[in-house]
Amino acid sequence: MSNHNIKHEQWSSRLTYMLAATGAAVGLGNIWKFPYIMGENGGGAFVLVYLGCILLIGIPVMMSEVLIGKVGRQAPARSARLVAAQSGGSKHWSVVGWFGSVAGFLILSFYVVIAGWALAYTFYGFSGDFTDKSPAQIGNIFSTLNQSGGQLMAWSGVIIFATTVIVGLGVKAGLERAVNWMMPALFVLLLVMVGYAASTGDMGSAMSFMFNADFSKLSWNGVLVALGHSFFTLSLASGIMTMYGAYLPEKTSLVKTSLWIAIMDTVVALLAGIAIYPIVFANGLEPGAGPGLIFQTLPIAFGSMPGGQFFGGLFFLMLVVAALTSALALIESSVAWLVENRGFKRMQAAVVSGFSIWLLSLLTVFSISGESWTVVTLFATDMSLFDILDFTTSNVMLPLGGLMTAVFVGYVVNTEISKRAIDSTAAIYRLWWLCVRYVAPIAIVLVFLQLSGIVSF
C-alpha cells in the first residue's frame, strides 16, 4: 500500500486547482437540476433558502473538506484518519472520507443518464431537430427519447465509456485544455440565452417567480431539497473536495478558492434559471415539469432564434463537457480507492468502476423508460428507483456527510491544525468556526428532525 504518488503530486498552479474544482462543481446540478427543483418548490422562497444554505453551510463545509485534504495529503478516508490521529481522535473518523465515496458512486449512476440526455440533445440540436417546432413537438422529442430504454442505454453508455477512458488514461492535460475554453464559453452562451429570454420571453414573470420569496409555497421538504442541493451543487460530501485539497499547493488560500468556486457555481445556477423561466412562462409551460424542464424549454428558444441550430447544438455539447468534468471527479474517488487499497492498476480500476456504474445506471434507465419493476411503494407513495436514488443521495447522504464533516472539523480537529490550514484573519477563522460548530450541525439536525416529525415549527 503505497501512496507516494499521491503525497508528492500537487496541482501545478492555483489556477489549475481552481479550474478542476470549478469544473467538478459546475455541471448538471446547475443547469439541469437547480431550475427544475426551484420550479417544483415554488420559486423565490426556495432560492432564498438555497442561497442561505450555500453561504452558511455549503461554503464552511467545503472549507472543512479542503482542510482535511490539505492537512492529510491523501485520499479522503486516509486523510480524515490522519487528521483525526493528529488531533487525538478515533480512527473511525475515516467515515467522513469513505461515506462520501459511496454517495458519489450512487450519484454517478444517474448522473451519466442525464448527461446521456444532453449528448442526445447535442446531436438533435446540430441536426436541426428543434427548428420551427412548437412547444408540443419539442415535448415529443423528449418523450420519444425516454420511451426507448435502448436509446437511453446507448447515450449514457457513451458517457460512461468516455469517463472510464479519460480517468483510466489519466489524460487530464487534454481535458483541462478543453475545459479551459469550454467553461468560459458555456458561461457566455448562458448569457446569450439570458439575452434571448429577455427579448422574447416573459422576463417579468420569471423574475418575480425566482426572486419574490413567498414562504407559503415552501414546504419543509422543500427546505431539505434546498439543503441537499447546496451540497450536491458544490460537490460536497462526496470526497471530491478533500481529494482535490490533497493536491492543493501549500501557499494557496483555502478561503479565497472556496469562495470563488461557490460564487461561480451560484452564478451559473442563477443564470440558468434566468435563461429558462422567461421561456417557461411565455409558452405556458409548467414550472414544476420536473427533470425534463430544460430539455422541454431551451430547444423552443433554439428552434426559433437566429443561428439556433448551431447554438443549440453547442449549448448541449458544452453541457456534456460540464457534466463530464463532474463525472470524472465523481468516479475518481472509487478509482483512487481501488488503486490504493486493492492494488489495482489505474486502468483496471477505471474499467471495474465504469462497469459497476453501468450496471447501476440501468436502474435509472429503466425507471425513465417506465419499466414497471422499477416502481416501488415507499411510505405509501409510488417512487421509481431513480427517484429513490436521487432522494437518498441528495437529501439523506449528502446532508448526513456534511453533518459528520462539520462535527469532525468543528469538535475533533485541534484548533491549531485548523487555524494553520485556514491561514486567514482571526475574524474569518472565527466566522468559519462558528458555522461548522454551531450553524451547520444545528441547521442540518433541525431539518431532519422536522421532517421525521420529531419536532415541528
For residue 331, the minimal CB distance to ligand PFF (Å) is 9
Rounded to whole angstroms, how far apart are CA atoms 272 and 28?
A: 11
For residue 88, the minimal CB distance to ligand PFF (Å) is 30
Alpha-helical regions (H) of 216-282 = 220-233, 240-245, 254-282
Cβ-based nearer residue to ligand PFF, 232 or 281:
232
What would the grid cell of residue 393 be? 443521495
Q: Which of 393, 366, 243, 326 is nearest to 32 (CA)?
A: 326
Measured CA distances, 204 to 50, 189, 201, 208 (Å): 22, 21, 9, 6
Cβ-based nearer residue to ligand PFF, 138 or 179:
179
| Residue 243 near which of Na ion, ligand PFF, none (CB within 5-8 Å, type-dependent) | none
Contact 301, 308 (CB under 8 A): yes
Residues in the site for ligand PFF, rule: CB under 6 A? 24-25, 27-30, 104, 107, 232-233, 235, 238, 240, 326, 329-330
For residue 60, the minimal CB distance to ligand PFF (Å) is 17
For residue 27, the minimal CB distance to Na ion (Å) is 5
Cβ-based nearer residue to ligand PFF, 278 or 402:
402
For residue 29, the minimal CB distance to ligand PFF (Å) is 2
DSSP per-residue letters across 281-337: HHTT--TT-GGGHHHHHHHHHHHHSTTHHHHHHHHHHHHHHHHHHHHHHHHHHHHHH
| Residue 273 near which of ligand PFF, Na ion, none (CB within 5-8 Å, type-dependent) | none
DSSP per-residue letters across 22-77: HHHHSSHIIIIIHHHHHHHTTSHHHHHHHHHHIIIIIHHHHHHHHHHHHHH-S-HH
For residue 238, the minimal CB distance to ligand PFF (Å) is 3
| Residue 24 near which of ligand PFF, Na ion, none (CB within 5-8 Å, type-dependent) | ligand PFF
Cβ-based nearer residue to Na ion, 265 or 340:
265
Cβ-based nearer residue to Na ion, 30 or 297:
30
Cβ-based nearer residue to ligand PFF, 296 or 393:
393
Cβ-based nearer residue to ligand PFF, 27 or 116:
27
For residue 291, the minimal CB distance to Na ion (Å) is 16
74: left (phi over 0), alpha (psi -120 to 50) or beta: beta
Residues in the site for Na ion, rule: CB under 5 A? 25, 29-30, 233, 265
| Residue number with the smallest Cβ distance to ligand PFF | 29
Say whether 422 sits in a helix, a strand or coil: helix
CA 391 to chain centre: 14
Q: Is the dihedral of CA 155, 261, 41, 379 positive or negative?
A: positive
| Residue 258 near which of ligand PFF, Na ion, none (CB within 5-8 Å, type-dependent) | none
